[in-house]
Each structure stands twice: as structure tokens, then as C-alpha cells.
Chains A and B, each alone.
Chain A
């Protein structure tokens, strides 16, 4: 945001309303092809889905009352929220360790770590998901490995645990990147000061470092939680129909049931949950931003 401001400050003022109108027309010419494409293939479809949730099969709130009295749908939503929460927490812990080490190592090592965490980001989702199918399958490498230990055979393909393991891997870059940006901005002298004044390392971490990294944690968590809620391919291929997620429920309302309104209502509820979550996170960041000036990424 401040980049935009800087730019506007350096730009000489445009003179006269006529010239301003001319600029505006050219600006809209630049944006309109993008707006037409996104409008046709995204804004119109999304608006239509929301509209159908109030009108299909008949006008009113029927789809919403039906949804909230459908105990199966409620179970599925709760399960999806739980799964997204688990994925977010596990990703957060692993990403924290990883991003912290990234700030502490030398430039070369950091570059290698960045490439490694971005690898899953760049490689085909289908190829990666297929690799997990092979790894997690019955009598697959992981099962074999555990069979050698006292734990014995583990059943992972077709379980929520299997989905969680694979999804955490998919989500790592989305957590590591914002968190690394935030951790990099933390002034280490603050830790040194805390240690110098006699704080134990663990106390210095929890009282100084962790609070300063909160913006990064929240940004990463918001991203991962939102993405997990709407994830379709990984749960579909690695999970089980018995423990389906909200994406599957929504998809089944459209095809084969053709209940577009019901699918729309479900989508609206998921979106509202996402927006509420983002609202809470923004509010937290705003409150903290008012108190502290040192936190956040520079």
C-alpha cells in the first residue's frame, strides 16, 4: 500500500479536468479486457451461484433453513472446519521451525531452503497427489516401513489422517512465505536485550519473539485455513466418502443432484465463515498495530 502512496507523491499533478477525463478513459481501456474476462468467467458465475441460493427452486430462504436443519451437512461442515484447523496448526508448527531457521542461516543456505519450500508450489498438484496415493496405499512404502516396527501396519489411504499429512505438505509454502517475511523483519537486538537483562531463552521467545511474529502467523494461518476449507482434489483422492468434506458435499449437490440452490447456500455459508475469520484476523492485527510499531515485516 505504501508503495502506491509513494508513487502518487512522486507523480507530477495532472492538470485540468479534461486531461483527467482523458486519462480515466485510457485507464478503463487498459482494465476493461481483464474485467470482461474475469466478469464473464468469475464474477457472473459467483453472483449467479449466490442468486440461485435464494431463488432456486423457489424464492426465499428455503435452501438455508434446509441446510441448517440437515444434520449430515452440519456434521460435514464441522468435520471440514476441524480438518482445516488441524492442517493449519500442524503447518504452523512446522513452518515456524522452518521459517525461523531460514532467518538464521547464511544467504546461500536460505536460497536453497526457499527453493525447496517452493518446489511443491511449482510442481503439478496431480503428480504430487498421485505420489501420495502410492506412498499411503495399503502395502505401500509407509505401510511397509511401519510393518517393520512394533506399531505394525498403518492404514492411511482413505483416512482423514492421510488427507491431513498430504494437505499439510501442499500448504507449507503458503505458511512459510508470509511467516518468513514477518520473522525477517524482527530486530534480533530485542531478543539480545531480553537475554541481556536476564530473561531465560524460552521466556525471551514467548514474551518477545513470538508476539512480534504474530502478523506473519496470522497471515499464514488465514491463507492455509481458507485454502483447506475449499480443497477438493486431495481429500477426494486420498480421503474416504464416509468422511467427506464440504467440497464433496457441495459438488454432490450440483452433480448428480442438480440442486444448484442448495449448493449455492452451502457456498455462501463457507464464504461467510471464511470472511468472518479474515475479519477477526484483520481486527487483531489492527489492535496490535495500534499498540506496537516494531512488529510486522519491513
Chain B
């Protein structure tokens, strides 16, 4: 149904207000990040770049940023490769218990976050992984796998298997079919899976709060700690930077290609 029907004015206004409430509030961090005072007073009484300087010089913030970036990249690579392999096997292969395996791999996405976080904390205490980079890496990778699995499986399902069969019929080895045909044609799904994987790791708070140590902290954990312990506006600078970067990452590709979001 693509027919345009008339929408009454009260409903239009309501939707406009909803849209404003969805997007508006977060942009308050941008003016606040230029404050000259050591408080969250809004609107700021004076202006400065102090908190941007602090964000890029204070080791507590720079270490956290660096940890998050490093971890995000590692998790993206691991989760994309592992998730894509699993997606190909689950969509193309025939095996018993496919539904059970798919369900098990999707589960991290479906359970309440706090339960996952506490379970991981208790288990990783026993395995000696709390406060370690390996612990973060394992937990974030497991969490990111479903976010790779969903788009890759979706794009594999729309892909015509006859193309693969044709390549195999013309003498391509299974590995070559997988690399030259399947992976190439599923590339959009794999790419969006990779983006989701990075976002999942970079944004994860609850599990990371439990896995952190004073020496190893991700950016969201540093933000959480900061807002619970003091009113240092550096968090506003951090939020403003993250918001700007993500907004650009989402909007620019769409503006450049002039492509409308597929519905």
C-alpha cells in the first residue's frame, strides 16, 4: 500500500512533537559541552573549550576512548567473520537442530541485559577474566554475533542459490564459490552486520560496568562513572563528539548517494 491518504492536522502536529521528543533532547549536550563552568547548569553562563581539551588530554578519558576504539575494532573483525560463517552455514547448510542453534546464537540479544551482565560477571570471576581485555573481547563478541547473524542471514536468503550452483557447475571449488560468489553477493548484509557489531561493542554499558577494572575501562563506563560520581562537564564533550560522529556516519552516506531509506 503506497497510496497517500490524508492525515488530519492534530495527528500531524502530534507526530511532529513525537519526532521532536525522539531526536531533540540529545542535542542539548552540544551547547552544554561548550560551558565554562564546572557544572551541568543549563543554559551555561559562560563559554569555553576547556572540556574538549580535558577530554583529549585527561588519561582517564583518553585511555577509555582508546580502549573502546581498540576493542570495537577487534570485536567487529571477530564477530563479522564468526557471524558470517555461522550465517552461511545456517542458511545454506542442512543440519539437525538448526532452529536450536539459531536460537542459542540469538539469545544474547533477547535476554534482559542486567541478567546477562551479572551472569557473565559471576562466570568470568571463576574464569579469571574480570578486568581483562580478553574478558571484554569475549563478552562483546558474543553480544555482537546476533547483530551480524540477522542481516547476513537476511541477505543470504534473498540471494538466488542458482548463482552459486552455476558457479559450482562451471567448475569453481566450494571455497572459491564461497569467496567469489556468496561473500560478494552478501556484502551489503555483511557490511551492515559489521557496523552493528562495532556499534554494539562501542555502546555497551551494563556488561562493561561489571567487567571493568580501574585500569581497564571503556568509554561508556567512564561516562557512567563520571555522571554517578561528579558533575564534570567533560562527559558533555564526550557525548557531543559521539553524537556528531554517529549522526554524520548515518546521514552522510544517505545524503551523498541521494538514496532514500528502503522501506
A residues neighboring B (CB under 8 Å): 3-4, 7, 10-12, 14, 20, 23-24, 26-31, 33-35, 37-46, 48-49, 52, 94, 97-98, 100-101, 103-108, 110-111, 113-117, 119-120, 122-135, 137, 139-141, 169, 172, 184, 186-188, 226-227, 229-233, 236-237, 247, 250-251, 254-255, 260, 263, 267, 270-271, 274
List CB contacts (< 8 Å) of B71-91 with chain A: 78, 81-83, 85-86, 88-91
Besides A101-B11, A120-B23, A267-B115, 19 more A-B contacts (Cβ < 8 Å) are A27-B93, A31-B89, A33-B85, A35-B105, A38-B105, A40-B138, A101-B7, A113-B15, A119-B26, A119-B247, A122-B250, A123-B26, A124-B202, A126-B219, A126-B223, A126-B224, A131-B26, A140-B40, A140-B42
6 residue pairs A–B, Cβ–Cβ below 8 Å: A30-B89, A34-B85, A37-B145, A125-B203, A129-B227, A137-B40
A119:B82 contact, CB within 8 angstroms: no
A41:B139 contact, CB within 8 angstroms: yes
> How far apart are the CA atoms of A147 and B149 in the complex, in Å?
50
Chain B's closest residue to A183 (CB) is: B1
Chain B's closest residue to A52 (CB) is: B122
A46:B119 contact, CB within 8 angstroms: yes
Chain B's closest residue to A263 (CB) is: B118
A126:B7 contact, CB within 8 angstroms: no
Residue B108 lies at the interface, judged by CB distance under 8 Å to chain A: yes
* Stretch touching chain A among B46-54, B55-63, B183-191, B238-246: B238-246
List CB contacts (< 8 Å) of B225-258 with chain A: 227-228, 235-236, 238-239, 242-243, 246-247, 250-251, 254
**Chain A binding surface, main DSSP class:** helix
A57 to chain B minimum Cβ distance, whole angstroms, is 14
For residue A125, which residues in chain B have a CB less than 8 angstroms away from its CB? 203, 205, 220
**Chain B binding surface, main DSSP class:** helix
Chain A's closest residue to B117 (CB) is: A232
